[in-house]
């Protein structure tokens, strides 16, 4: 094996990436991680020294959206290097082998690297019909998940389906779908990257975090890294000043909409959604949903398909919006229990899910923090 620093720098050069550009990338990562720029140097050193850790990527009740997000990794050539820093031994969407050969690759990775590999899970895991709602090679998703995640060094649940059950678990949860935390009880070192899909910048940042600090990042109550989920979207929104000034979009395409006024009245869930969308944005910083004029739908939060809908109804029970101090009341809204939230939006059937037959879930019903918490200094 070539010395790590050599192969890494050679690869950089081969891809036309100068050392300086690479350091720039590490600086970006450092800022994604909310670290001082000087930390960039130690990140660079850590990546160069690292052997390629093995990663296996499992897809269950998924739409492949997180894989597509993964393919959009930013700073292309450098992101590719970061991927090459890992050995992706199993990923059905991209791997060349199929059928028996593909299954053998998974078995080999799990056996040869027991306790050392990283598992990524995309999609929820169904528990109904003895596992027949999702099988791969004749095996149920839940048995694969328990085996593979059970022996992993760490598991990353990528996207809201793998994290909280997501769309398949929306009422009436026809297949008994669960996120990893519930489907694999006792799973070690689980990191949840919620959102629909998860932003690849946060996956990349997580990997770099691990390689740099040799441990996993501190998380919130939902096991989401604070560096990405530590603040409410509302707190960092570019339209926040319009909220504070009481300037709102009233109709699609009206003067306020074209000017970039606050989308609160159109149903924006930014005040109760914790993610770094406004900071890192999407597709190499090109844009983000609020930036293109549509309200946030709260996709990073548990049960958002039930709790945040109807999407275009503005958050209720928040009197006199437009005054900054009321954000605390919005935070209180976020702690409304599921039953009350369901009753509020009138989908009667949803409540049934919670009464009968629902698989056990280990998630708390609501965040245990308020907007602005989780990062020193709070909201400005």
Partner 1 sequence: MTLVVVDPVTRIEGHLRIETEVDGGKVQDAWSSATMFRGVELILKGRDPRDAWAFTQRICGVCTTVHAIASIRAVENAIGATPPPNARLLRNLIISAQCVQDHVVHFYHLHALDWVDIVSALSADPAKTSALAQSISDWPLSSTTYFAGIQQRVKAFVERGQLGPFANAYWGHPAYRLPAEANLMAVAHYLEALDWQREFIKIHAILGGKNPHLQSFLVGGMATPIDPDRQASLNAGSIAQMQELIKKGRDFVTKVYIPDLLAIASFYKDWAGYGAGVGNYLVYGEYPEADGPNPALFLPPGVIHKRDLSKVEPFDPSKITEQVKHSWYEYEGGDDKGLHPFQGETKPKYTGPKPPYERLETGAKYSWLKSPRYDGEPMEVGPLARMLVAYASGQPRVKELVGVVLGKLGVGPEALFSTLGRVAARGIETQVLVEKMDDWLNGLAANMAKRELRIADNSKWEPSTWPRECSGAGFHEAPRGALGHWVHIRDGQIANYQCVVPSTWNAGPRDASGKRGPYEEALLGTPIHDPTQPLEILRTVHSFDPCIACGVHVVDAQKRELAQVRVL
- What does DSSP say about strands 177-178 and 125-126: parallel, antiparallel, or unpaired? antiparallel
Going residue by residue from 45 to 64, which x/- string records binding to partner 1, judged by CB under 8 A? -------x-x----xxxxxx
What's the closest the beta carbon of residue 325 comes to partner 1, in angstroms? 26
Question: By CB under 8 A, what part of segment 200-239 binds partner 1?
Answer: none
Nearer to partner 1, 95 or 332 (CB): 95
Task: Say how far apart CA 102 and CA 339 lie, in whole Å.
Answer: 44
The answer to whether 1 contacts partner 1 (rule: CB under 8 A) is yes
User: Does 258 contact partner 1 by CB under 8 A?
Assistant: yes
Residues 119-158 close enough to bind partner 1 by CB under 8 A: 126-141, 143
Q: How far apart are CA 31 and CA 201, in angstroms?
A: 11
In angstroms, give the least distance from the CB of 183 to partner 1: 11
**Quick check: 80 binds partner 1 (CB under 8 A)?**
yes
Binding of residue 302 to partner 1 (CB under 8 A) = no
Q: Is 286 in the site for partner 1 (CB under 8 A)?
A: yes
The minimum distance between CB 301 and partner 1, in angstroms, equals 14
- The nearest distance, CB 143 to partner 1, in angstroms, is 7
C-alpha distance from residue 238 to each of 183, 266, 277, 375 (Å):
38, 16, 11, 19
Please state, in angstroms and rounded to a whole number, the distance separating the CA atoms of residues 48 and 226: 26
Determine if 362 is a binding residue for partner 1 (CB under 8 A).
no
Taking residues 168 to 187 in sequence order and writing x for each that binds partner 1 by CB under 8 A, - otherwise, the string is: x-xxxxxxxx----------
Choosing from 312, 324, 364, 368, the residue that interacts with partner 1 (CB under 8 A) is: 312
Residue 227: C-alpha distances to residues 29, 270, 277, 280 (Å): 11, 17, 12, 11
Residue 314 lies near partner 1 (rule: CB under 8 A)? no
DSSP state for residue 315 in the 8-state scheme? P
The Cα 125–Cα 141 span in angstroms is 6
Write the burial class of residue 151 (CB in 10 Å: 0-12 exposed, 13-18 middle, 19+ buried): middle
Measured CA to CA, the distance from residue 57 to residue 122 in angstroms comes to 7
Please give the span between the terminal C-alpha atoms of the chain, in angstroms, as a whole number. 50
**Contacts of 247 by beta carbon, 8 Å cutoff, 6+ apart:** 256, 259, 261, 262
Nearer to partner 1 by C-beta: 102 or 332?
A: 102
Q: Does the protein bind partner 1 through residue 73 (CB under 8 A)?
A: yes
x/- mask, partner 1, residues 14-33, rule CB under 8 A, reads xx------------------
Q: Give the interface size with partner 1 as a residue count (CB under 8 A).
A: 111
């Amino acid at each position: 094996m070539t010395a790590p620093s050599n192969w890494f720098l050679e690869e950089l050069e081969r891809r036309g990436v100068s050392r300086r550009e690479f350091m720039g990338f590490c600086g970006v990562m450092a800022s994604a991680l909310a670290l001082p720029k000087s930390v960039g140097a130690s990140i660079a050193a850590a990546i160069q020294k690292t052997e390629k850790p093995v990663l296996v990527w499992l897809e269950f009740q998924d739409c492949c959206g997180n894989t597509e997000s993964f393919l959009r990794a930013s700073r292309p050539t450098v992101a590719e290097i970061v991927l090459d820093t890992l050995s992706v031994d199993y990923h059905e969407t991209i791997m060349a082998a199929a059928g028996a050969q593909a299954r053998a690759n998974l078995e080999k990775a799990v056996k040869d690297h027991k306790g050392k590999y990283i598992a990524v899970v995309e999609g929820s895991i169904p528990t109904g019909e003895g596992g027949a709602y999702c099988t791969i090679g004749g095996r149920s998703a839940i048995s694969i998940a328990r085996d593979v995640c059970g022996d992993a060094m760490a598991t990353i649940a990528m996207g809201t389906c793998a994290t909280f059950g997501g769309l398949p678990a929306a009422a009436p949860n026809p297949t008994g779908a669960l996120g990893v935390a519930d489907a694999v009880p006792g799973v070690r070192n689980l990191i949840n990257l919620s959102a629909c899909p998860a932003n690849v910048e946060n996956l990349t940042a997580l990997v770099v975090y691990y390689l740099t600090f040799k441990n996993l990042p501190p998380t919130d109550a939902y096991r989401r890294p604070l560096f990405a989920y530590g603040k409410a979207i509302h707190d960092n929104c570019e339209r926040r000043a319009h909220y504070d000034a009481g300037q709102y979009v009233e109709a699609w395409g009206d003067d306020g909409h074209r000017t970039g006024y606050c989308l609160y009245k159109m149903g924006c869930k930014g005040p109760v959604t914790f993610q770094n969308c406004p900071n890192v944005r999407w597709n190499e910083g090109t844009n983000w949903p609020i930036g293109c004029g549509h309200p946030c739908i709260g996709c990073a939060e548990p049960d958002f398909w039930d709790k945040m809908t109807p999407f275009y109804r503005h958050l209720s029970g928040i009197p006199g919006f437009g005054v900054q101090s009321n954000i605390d009341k919005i935070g209180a809204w976020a702690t409304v229990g599921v039953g009350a939230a369901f009753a509020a939006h009138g989908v009667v059937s949803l409540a049934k899910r919670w009464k009968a037959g629902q698989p056990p879930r280990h998630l708390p019903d609501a965040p245990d923090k308020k907007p602005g918490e989780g990062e020193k200094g709070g909201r400005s």
